[in-house]
């Protein structure tokens, strides 16, 4: 459909600008509406402890609830109406709290690539953790809600010396990086010999080998091939081999092996999600 009417274009531009300026207030109104809409006891969010009848959908495009915009549902029963955590974040949260002795009082240094709010809050508030959140584009709008600074850093050339971090979180980042081998080599370099790197990424387990971008594709082609315009590959079952090529030993924390079907529904997890546990 063509937007040939200049008057309509003007209205759309003005509306988009208005939404941007009042984004926080709009999000707060939507959040309050969703908390009321999903009132109930069917599920519990491990991150914020809230109970709901079910989890809300994850949208791509305009703000949730904006029926006039081009809203696409990426996943149903996936987002906490209160803290906005998603399936993969809740699995990582459970793993960090139930499976790791992360908060045993021993001093630890933690690097998070492209920080996410639940973990930013968790690590920032811990006295025993030296927390280093970093991103290639920390000035992005999504970080305006973060209660602290984000280090500007390129994952392919991290600004830290060798072997300094006890733990590194790298969740849903590698598919956005054009050279993920170089990124993995950098993660290997800055991790301590006793450290642990946690990787999450979208993986198509029906694919034997990762589909890699040639570098000449358009954003529209990448969306079709890899699921998003800013994704440069679709990982297949060889993801572990790719991680190992950087020198890591890789194990997995598999959602389906660690949680019952009832728990998966209760905590709003993706049964196919895995956390790759990488050690030197
Ligand atoms: Zn929550």
Measure 204 CA to ligand 1 centroid, in angstroms.
27
Measure 55 CA to ligand 1 centroid, in angstroms.
9
The CATH fold of domain 87-279? Rossmann fold (3.40.50)
Give me the pLDDT at residue 101, please: 73
Give me the pLDDT at residue 199, please: 98
Kindly state the tokens that stand for 10: 């003007």
Q: Of 272, 277, 240, 278, whose CA–CA distance to 88 is shortest?
A: 272
Domain boundaries, the chain: 6-79, 87-279
Measure 108 CA to ligand 1 centroid, in angstroms.
26
Measure 238 CA to ligand 1 centroid, in angstroms.
33
Measure 96 CA to ligand 1 centroid, in angstroms.
16
Q: Report every protein residue that has its C-beta within 5 angstroms of ion ligand 1.
A: 45, 47-48, 80, 82-83, 85
Give residue for tokens 């992005």.
140
Measure 118 CA to ligand 1 centroid, in angstroms.
9
The answer to whether 255 and 264 have CB atoms below 8 angstroms apart is yes
Measure 267 CA to ligand 1 centroid, in angstroms.
10
Kindly state the tokens that stand for 98: 């139930």
Measure 58 CA to ligand 1 centroid, in angstroms.
13
Give me the pLDDT at residue 172, please: 93
H/E stretch holding 17 reads helix 6-21
Measure 80 CA to ligand 1 centroid, in angstroms.
5
Measure 31 CA to ligand 1 centroid, in angstroms.
11
Measure 123 CA to ligand 1 centroid, in angstroms.
17
H/E stretch holding 256 reads helix 255-258
Measure 190 CA to ligand 1 centroid, in angstroms.
32
- Round to whole Å and give the CA distance between 172 and 180: 12
Q: How many residues does the chain have?
A: 280
Measure 61 CA to ligand 1 centroid, in angstroms.
21
Give the 3-state secondary structure of residue 89: helix
Give me the pLDDT at residue 4, please: 61
Give me the pLDDT at residue 64, please: 46
Q: How many CA atoms lie within 13 A of 123 on its CB side?
A: 27
| Residue-by-residue pLDDT tens, the chain, 280 positions | 445 677 877 877 777 777 677 777 888 888 899 999 999 999 999 999 999 999 999 887 544 444 445 667 778 889 999 999 999 999 999 999 887 777 777 899 999 999 998 899 889 988 899 999 999 988 876 677 777 889 999 999 999 999 999 999 999 999 999 899 999 999 999 999 999 999 999 999 999 999 887 777 888 888 888 777 788 898 999 999 999 999 999 999 999 999 999 999 999 999 999 999 999 9
């Amino acid at each position: 459909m063509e937007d040939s009417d200049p008057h309509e274009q003007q209205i759309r531009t003005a509306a988009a600008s208005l939404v941007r300026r009042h984004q926080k207030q709009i999000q707060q109104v939507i959040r309050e509406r969703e908390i009321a809409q999903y009132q109930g006891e069917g599920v519990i969010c491990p991150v914020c402890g809230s109970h709901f009848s079910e989890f809300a959908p994850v949208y791509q495009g305009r703000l949730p609830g904006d029926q006039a915009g081009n809203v696409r549902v990426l996943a149903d029963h996936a987002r906490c109406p209160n803290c906005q955590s998603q399936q993969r974040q809740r699995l990582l949260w459970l793993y960090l709290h139930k499976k790791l002795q992360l908060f045993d009082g021993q001093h630890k240094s933690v690097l998070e690539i492209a920080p996410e709010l639940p973990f930013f809050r968790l690590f920032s508030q811990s006295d025993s953790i030296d927390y280093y959140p970093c991103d290639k584009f920390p000035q992005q709008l999504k970080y305006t809600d973060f209660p602290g600074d984000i280090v500007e850093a390129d994952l392919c050339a991290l600004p830290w010396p060798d072997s300094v971090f006890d733990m590194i979180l790298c969740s849903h980042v590698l598919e956005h990086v054009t050279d993920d081998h170089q990124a993995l080599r950098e993660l290997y370099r800055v991790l301590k010999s006793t450290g642990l790197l946690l990787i999450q990424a979208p993986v198509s387990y029906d694919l034997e080998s990762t589909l890699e971008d040639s570098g000449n594709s358009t954003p529209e082609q990448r969306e079709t091939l890899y699921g998003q315009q800013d994704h440069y590959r679709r990982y297949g079952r060889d993801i572990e081999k790719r991680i190992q090529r950087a020198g890591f030993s890789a194990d997995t924390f598999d959602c389906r092996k660690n949680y019952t079907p009832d728990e998966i529904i209760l905590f709003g997890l993706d049964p196919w999600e895995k956390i790759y546990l990488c050690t030197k």
